[in-house]
């Protein structure tokens, strides 16, 4: 299965590169026959200008202007055709573009697959989630991607003004959770492309993670600059809303998150559900109603404390356990089919810090929540002090809670807890 997969991937990559690179590497045809065809045309046009002036159709000023324009075109034609140095320079530039594409396309494809795909499924087709199996395959894939990324870095050092390439390298480091490496590369990329709002937002996110999951200071400055350049940048709005929430400015947090939700891609359902839940929580806090954290542990409503530094992999603070159906629902004929299990920070913003999805038929469902199932790099389970685990059977199939959903919730626990049990025992009103 693995050999077949890589053979197919290699063939597809080679085909795409061939289609993209052939026009760039193809030498433009410059022949003398083409000049022989165009020069008689210009001679005819000169004759027509002379005739029009003789017939009184053109004034002297009009004649001189038209002749000057025609002479300029002839000069450009002959100079272009007889300037091999310019042609060679153009070919060299095209070859540099072709080389960059040949490096960037496989590298970006690998990073995207590592981030969004399921490497374990190549050798274990039955695995439902890459985070719950195939650790050996994941490590092998990570080594391969790290090698590819370092090759990209070496090539970029030979072409240090490639802002797009440096941005891709920085995001690649971020996807591999190498934040210390990502920060200086983002700095280089933003100097080359200072008005790229998306690049600035990603830089702020990486810098916030690197400095202890705090967005105050330089990250906030980058976020505000990104929003001045693009007021609808989704990531910048989400980060800005998080800053406002941590400062108890719930009105601003709700507004920022509503703006982010309004400009989400239409197919990003997961982010949509998370933002809806966060907006509802901010509005509850604004109105003085009960929040999730108050219902669980009744702590004081204060800004989230600075998170602790992450462990090297985040796996040592994973939470494991089982979700079971309460006896009051055990005999019910019709139950919602979609199951969400997620961890929420007791004292912080309401967005889940780790989430997995399953089905009712998987109950009793054994889950594992860790950093690999965190929806945002800047908020990971391993950095949170106390969480609650929520299990929800959703009628709509969405993570956003609705009336009629069936839920269960754990007591507040610390990341690293094992073998906890969450009982789905009540229906949302």
pLDDT of residue 149: 79
Domain of 322 in residue numbering reads as 315-427
Assess if residue 181 is contained within a domain: no
What's the chain look like in SS3? Answer: CHHHHHHHHHHHHHHHHHHHHHHHHCCCCCCHHHHHHHHHHHHHHHHHHHHHHHCCCCCHHHHHHHHHHHHHHHHHHHHHHCCHHHHHHHHHHHHHHHHHHHHHHHHHHHHHHHHHCCHHHHCCCCCCCHHHCCHHHHHHHHHHHHHHHHHHHHHHHHCCCCHHHHHHHHHHHHHCCCHHHHHHHHHHHHHHCCCCHHHHHHHHHHHHHHCCCCCCCHHHHHHHHHHHHCCCCHHHHHHHHHHHHHCCCHHHHHHHHHHHHHCCCCCCHHHHHHHHHHHHHHHHHHHCCCCHHHHHCCCCCCCCCCCCCCCCCCHHHCEEEEEEECHHHHCCCCCCCEEEEEEEECCCCCCCCEEEEEEHHHCCEEEEECHHHCCECCECHHHCCCEEEEEEEECCCCCCCCCCCEEEECCCECCCCCCEEEEECEECC
Which CATH number fits the domain that encloses residue 266? 1.25.40.10
Assess if residue 52 is contained within a domain: yes
Assess if residue 192 is contained within a domain: no
Assess if residue 188 is contained within a domain: no
The domain tally of the chain equals 3
283 and 327 together in one domain: no
Is the pTM for the entire model greater than 0.95?
no
Assess if residue 91 is contained within a domain: no
Rg over alpha carbons for the chain, rounded to the nearest Å, is 30
Which CATH number fits the domain that encloses residue 368? 2.60.40.1120
* Domain stops at, among 254, 289, 324: 289
pLDDT of residue 321: 94
360 and 323 together in one domain: yes
333 and 408 together in one domain: yes
Distance CA 25, CA 317 (A): 51
Assess if residue 134 is contained within a domain: no
pLDDT of residue 389: 93
269 and 326 together in one domain: no
282 and 359 together in one domain: no
* Domain stops at, among 289, 323, 358: 289
* Domain stops at, among 82, 109, 141: 82
The series of mean pLDDT values per 10 residues for the chain, 429 residues long, is: 59 69 57 57 73 74 75 65 48 62 67 53 41 50 72 84 86 80 90 91 87 84 93 91 87 90 81 80 70 34 34 63 86 81 81 86 90 75 88 84 87 90 88
pLDDT of residue 288: 52
pLDDT of residue 223: 93
331 and 280 together in one domain: no
Handedness of CA 286, 290, 296, 301 (dihedral sign): positive
Assess if residue 49 is contained within a domain: yes
324 and 282 together in one domain: no
Assess if residue 284 is contained within a domain: yes
């Amino acid at each position: 299965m693995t050999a077949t997969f890589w053979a197919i991937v290699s063939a597809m990559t080679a085909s795409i590169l061939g289609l993209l690179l052939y026009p760039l590497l193809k030498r433009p045809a410059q022949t003398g026959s083409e000049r022989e065809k165009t020069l008689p045309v210009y001679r005819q046009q000169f004759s027509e200008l002379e005739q029009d002036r003789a017939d009184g159709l053109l004034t002297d000023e009009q004649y001189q202007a038209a002749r000057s324009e025609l002479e300029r075109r002839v000069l450009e034609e002959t100079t272009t055709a007889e300037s091999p140095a310019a042609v060679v320079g153009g070919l060299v530039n095209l070859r540099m573009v072709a080389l960059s594409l040949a490096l960037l396309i496989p590298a970006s494809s690998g990073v995207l697959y590592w981030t969004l795909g399921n490497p374990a499924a190549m050798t274990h087709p039955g695995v439902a989630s890459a985070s719950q199996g195939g650790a050996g395959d994941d490590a092998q894939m990570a080594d391969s991607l790290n090698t590819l990324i370092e090759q990209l870095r070496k090539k970029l050092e030979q072409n240090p003004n490639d802002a797009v390439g440096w941005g891709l390298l920085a995001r690649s480091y971020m996807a591999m959770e190498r934040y210390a490496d990502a920060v200086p590369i983002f700095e280089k990329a933003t100097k080359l492309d200072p008005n790229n709002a998306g690049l600035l937002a990603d830089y702020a996110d990486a810098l916030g993670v690197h400095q202890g999951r705090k967005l105050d200071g330089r990250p906030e400055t980058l976020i505000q600059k990104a929003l001045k350049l693009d007021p609808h940048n989704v990531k910048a709005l989400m980060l800005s809303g998080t800053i406002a929430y941590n400062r108890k400015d719930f009105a601003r947090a709700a507004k920022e998150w509503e703006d982010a939700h309004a400009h989400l891609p239409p197919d990003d359902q997961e982010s949509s559900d998370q933002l809806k839940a966060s907006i509802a929580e901010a509005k509850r806090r604004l109105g003085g109603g009960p929040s999730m954290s108050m219902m669980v542990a009744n702590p004081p409503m204060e800004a989230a404390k600075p998170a602790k530094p992450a462990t090297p992999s985040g796996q040592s603070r994973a939470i494991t356990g089982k979700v079971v159906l309460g006896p009051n629902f055990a005999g019910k004929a019709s139950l919602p089919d979609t199951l969400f299990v997620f961890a929420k920070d007791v004292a912080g913003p309401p967005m889940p810090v780790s989430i997995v999805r399953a089905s009712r038929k998987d109950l009793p469902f054994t889950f594992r929540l860790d950093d690999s199932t965190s929806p945002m790099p800047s908020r990971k389970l391993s950095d949170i002090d106390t969480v609650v685990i929520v299990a929800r059977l959703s009628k709509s199939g969405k993570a956003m809670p609705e009336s009629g959903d069936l839920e269960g919730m754990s007591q507040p626990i610390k990341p690293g807890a094992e073998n906890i049990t969450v009982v789905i025992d009540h229906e949302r009103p």
